[in-house]
Amino acid sequence: MTADTDVPAVEASTVEEARTASRIQGFDIARALAIFGMITVNYRATFPVTVDGPAWLEWMAGQVNGRAAALFVFLAGIGISLLSRRGRLSDDADLIRADRMNLLRRSLFLLVIGFWFRQYWEYDILHFYGVYLLIAAAILTTSNRALLIFTLLATIVFPFLYYILPEQLGITFWATTNAFTPREILIDLFFQGYHPVMPWVAFMLVGMMIGRLELTDASVRRRLLIWGVAIALSAEAIAYLFLNMGTFKLMEDIFPMLDLEEASVSLDSAPYPPMPLFVAVGAGWAMAIVSLCLSFGERFADRRWIMPLVHTGQLALTIYIIHGTIGIWAVEWAGVKPSRTLGWVIGYSAILYSILILLSTLWRRKFDRGPVEAIMRRLTDSWRSEINPVPPEEAKAA
């Protein structure tokens, strides 16, 4: 009797472990896609395109701009919810304190690396990440309703800053700086930087909410996909209606005293400056892509050919640093200075990315984590592990 009742339990446990593994693979695949998108976007900015490319290629590149980084931040939010799941659900004060300390240590680690990186590469996102994690640590156990409110506040704050701060502080939005003074650091973090805390932290907050869902449930993933696509397309439609269908021109005829050309920026879905419609588009596509990647990971969990992408996603932080250093230095060392097309940028990004996929796969055959990931874990996770070790599935997903 005991043996008979144990068999279903073992089978159920095995099924759950398989579902958890496929879920983790889905997150890693999404990270791998985000990394490739970020490489192409950053290289397009780093290696200025001097020759116009085909209209369809320009359009596709424009769709990735900002969205890939938003997906990356969104995935970090999901990872935070998975990492803190046990402490949050059990309301265990020690676990919650350990989770917060874990985030604070990671935040400090990323701030240090990010500010170093920012001194010579203006497109760095890591120092912004450090601040995002500080905020996540502060509101780690808040309700979904509170997270939604914080998300909306973070989203609507930036337009006010955009129209008020330049005149008050005597600055321009488009003049980023890497000056290492308290004033310039705050302006970079909250206004002039490429990923200002307000509204970019909204992607992490939305990810934290999504990470609390039962993402192993196919019906939940299906709803996530539908809602994500609906939100993204609706936001794009609103932007197109006002900016491309003459709506603002009509309003200008009715209200000639208003500077509608400047006001129209607030209804753009472009990532720079990051207005509310950009946040909606970025969050919507992130929801949809994560849903698809989770289903893809579950469908092909037992296929060997999927593992290179999984390994690439697991080494995302290391790859990010490599692409901003060695990837750029390689072009400088080779002395490549022709007129660059968008095709050249995408081609170089694809070649480097293919090499990084290969190196990631070879690295993971011998090591559990990437070199930078391992350093971060060693420096940030020790205090928590002394209290209560993180389950392997949560640690990998986070």
Q: What is the mean pLDDT of the chain?
A: 84
CB contact set of 100 (below 8 Å; sequence gap of 6+): 137, 140
Q: Where are the domains of the chain?
A: 28-47+67-397
Question: 3-class secondary structure for 327-387?
Answer: HHHHHHHHCCCCCCEHHHHHHHHHHHHHHHHHHHHHHHCCCCCCHHHHHHHHHHCHHHHHH
Q: What is the pLDDT of residues 53-77, one digit of tens each?
A: 778 888 888 888 899 999 999 999 9
Identify residue 78 by its one-letter amino acid code.
Answer: I
In the block, tokens 């601040």 appear at 131
CB of 123 closer than 8 Å to CB of 194: yes
Q: Which residue has the higher pLDDT, 138 or 385?
A: 138
Q: Residue 254: pLDDT above 70?
A: no
- Distance CA(258)–CA(275), nearest Å, equals 20
- What pLDDT was estimated at residue 381? 72
Q: Are 283 and 203 in contact (CB under 8 A)?
A: yes
Average pLDDT, stretch 276-281? 96
List, in order, residues 6 or more apart from 32 with CB less than 8 Å away.
309, 310, 312, 313, 316, 357
- pLDDT value, residue 143: 92
Query: How many angstroms separate the CA atoms of 327 and 350, rounded?
Result: 12
Cross-strand partners of 51? 341
CA dist 178 and 57 (Å) reads 32
Say if residue 199 is preceded by a cis peptide, omega within 30 of 0: yes
Selected residue with higher pLDDT from 103 and 383: 103
| Res 9 pLDDT > 50 | no
Q: What would the mean pLDDT of 234-248 be, rounded to a whole number?
A: 78
Please report which confidence band the pLDDT of residue 14 belongs to, taking 50, 70 and 90 as the band edges: very low
Handedness of CA 284, 83, 353, 120 (dihedral sign): positive
| Partner residues linked to 341 by β-bridges | 51
Q: Is 90 exceeded by the pLDDT of residue 112?
A: yes
- Residue 255's pLDDT band (cuts 50, 70, 90): low
Q: Residue 10: is it exposed, middle or buried by C-beta count within 10 angstroms (0-12/13-18/19+)?
A: exposed
The amino acid present at 151, given as its one-letter code, is T
- The pLDDT tens digits for 180-238 are 888 889 999 999 889 999 999 999 999 999 999 999 899 999 999 999 999 999 999 98
Q: Across residues 35-41, what is the average pLDDT?
A: 93
Whether 15 shows a pLDDT value over 80: the answer reads no
Contacts of 287 (CB under 8 A, 6+ apart): 74, 206, 210, 224, 225, 227, 228, 231
- Say what the alpha-carbon torsion angle 68, 71, 72, 77 is, to the nearest 10 degrees: 160
CA-wise closest residue to 73 among 239, 211, 218: 211
Q: What is the pLDDT of residue 252?
A: 58
Q: In this structure, what token pair is assigned to residue 323?
A: 């692409």
Position 146 scores a pLDDT of 95
- Average the pLDDT over 20-24 and give the result: 56
Q: Please list the alpha-helical segments (H only) found in 245-341.
A: 247-254, 260-263, 276-299, 307-314, 316-324, 326-334
